[in-house]
Amino acid sequence: MDVLFAAEAAVRDAAPAVVQRHRSAGVLTWALLHTMEVEVLADVAATGKHSKRILDMIRAPAALDYPKDEREASFEGHDVVPIVFRAIEDAWRRVN
């Protein structure tokens, strides 16, 4: 489990810089959330400290079928929020 916690910490560290690059969009849409997910995971993968298997565990699984459109992202009504999505949403609220 330590490797999973380490990957989550790395995602939380990487998310603010990615969010900062996109903050001018004004609204966090599902499409933007998915775009930033790819960027955050690429940044974390580039460190070489986390296996692809672990990174796949913390991304949004296709089976959850989150929207990919321009509607405002909201996790209301979702029982499960992937680690990467939660980190991005938290950073989105904190980054000006």
Q: What is the pLDDT of residues 41-59, one digit of tens each?
A: 999 999 999 999 999 999 9
Compute the distance between CA of residue 55 and CA of residue 78 in angstroms, rounded to an integer: 21
Tell me the pLDDT band of 72, cut-offs 50, 70 and 90. Answer: very high
What percent of the chain has a predicted confidence (pLDDT) above 70?
Answer: 99
pTM passes above 0.85: yes
Q: For the chain, give me the number of helices (H) and strands (E)?
A: 4, 0
Distance, in Å, from the CA atom of 37 to the CA atom of 11, rounded to the nearest integer, reads 9
The yes-or-no verdict on residue 37 having pLDDT over 70 is yes
Per-residue pLDDT, 1: 65
| Phi and psi torsions of 29, nearest 5° | -95, 165
